Amino acid sequence: MGTSARIALVLGGGGARAAYQAGVLKALRELLPTAGPSPFSIICAVSGGAVNGALLAAGAADFGSAVERLLAFWDGIVPAQVWRSHSLWRRWLSGDGALLDTAPLARNLAERIDFDAIAAAIEQRHLIALSLDCFGHASGQTVSFFQGRGDMDPWQAGGNAGAHVRLGLEHVLASSALPLFFPPQRLHREFFGDGVLGGGGSPIRTAQHLGAARILRIETDFPVPASGRTGEANSPGFPCMAGHVLNRLYRGSGAGACPLPLLTLAPSQDPAYLAAQHLAAMPSFSGWSMGNNPATGALLASYLLFDKGYGKALTDLGYRDAMERGTELTGLFGYSSALALG
């Protein structure tokens, strides 16, 4: 389709919930009538979406193959490839402010993301820019670290900034550093973590800064339904409380009104409900276990359960949701669904 269309892909996040995005992109690959380079000239991502964004950008020359690699990542993932647990006292003494060690994720992504291919995609005009949002723990500023064409300028706007850099593994790990659980990363002179801590709306603004004309946004949050009090007197426990904290952070992470044509997809089914069906695959950490009680463990597990069974459930959901909105999706790209489906 070429980069002249300047269609931006904005990927939200939320740890393991980002598998949902792979399913949406699988559907989009089938809905669009042509193969070849990525239909997205700009990719802006945050949190778990940063992993997907980097994988897609590295494969921008061949969108179909890039989606296949993305699906392979989520279809084969197990928790041990992402994080491992230490006892609490070791985490406190380490001073990195995180409950879990993500060294396995770093090794996994180092083998899968070809950062030289991102540079090549930009040089060959398959991609204008890839941007990853990170939150500076010292400055309190959200920084969109982006790699793009040489004539693209950095910016400063309120509590947000755009920094033109050559992206690397450390930027992906910083952007996807799930608050409290995954360790922040040192970038230059400051430690950075999940960009959602800065409000979550920055990827939309970044897409505008980078010259997007239209935007497809794929989020992973799901509204928690209101329910009456049940009189339950038991303590909620750490997994339940931590799940609610993360859910609050990742809910409503949009940037408000957007002046550009914008299509947003989000799960039609609660990811926590899907995670509840796979709790047996969730390892214990720091002395806490998810157990088998969906009421206390499923919400937190929906962010931390990097399991192929749960991942497939999310990709299947993303695929179904996207196919149901096929007319809107193909319309965003200037095609009719009838043409796309032959």
3-state secondary structure of 338: helix
Of 111, 252, 105, give the one whose Cα is nearest residue 181: 105
pLDDT at 159: 76
Average pLDDT of 2-21?
Answer: 87
Structure tokens at 237: 């426990």
- Answer for the pair 187, 174: CB distance below 8 angstroms, yes or no: yes
- Residue of higher predicted confidence among 256 and 179: 179
Residue 275 CA, distance from chain mean position: 17
pLDDT at 17 exceeding the cut of 80: yes
The burial class, CB within 10 Å (0-12 / 13-18 / 19+), for 30 is middle
Whether 233 has a pLDDT exceeding 60, the answer reads no
Choosing among 3.90.228, 1.20.1740, 3.40.50, 3.40.1090, the CATH entry for 7-224+236-333 is 3.40.1090
Q: Is 270 a catalytic residue?
A: no
116 catalytic? Reply is no
What per-residue confidence (pLDDT) applies to 59? 97
Which listed residue (101, 194, 221, 307) is catalytic?
194
d(CA 281, CA 306): 9
253 confidence band (pLDDT: 50, 70, 90): low
* Of 294, 298, 254, 83, nearest in space to 180 by CA: 83
Rounded Cα–Cα distance for residues 164 and 160 (Å): 13
Q: Identify the active-site residue in 41, 47, 202, 253.
A: 47
SS3 of 252-284: the string is CCCCCCCCCCEEEECCCCCHHHHHHCCHHHCCC
Tokens matching residue 219:
């989020």
Residue spans of the domains in the chain: they are 7-224+236-333
pLDDT at 93 over 60: no
Residues 6+ apart with CB under 8 A from 92: none
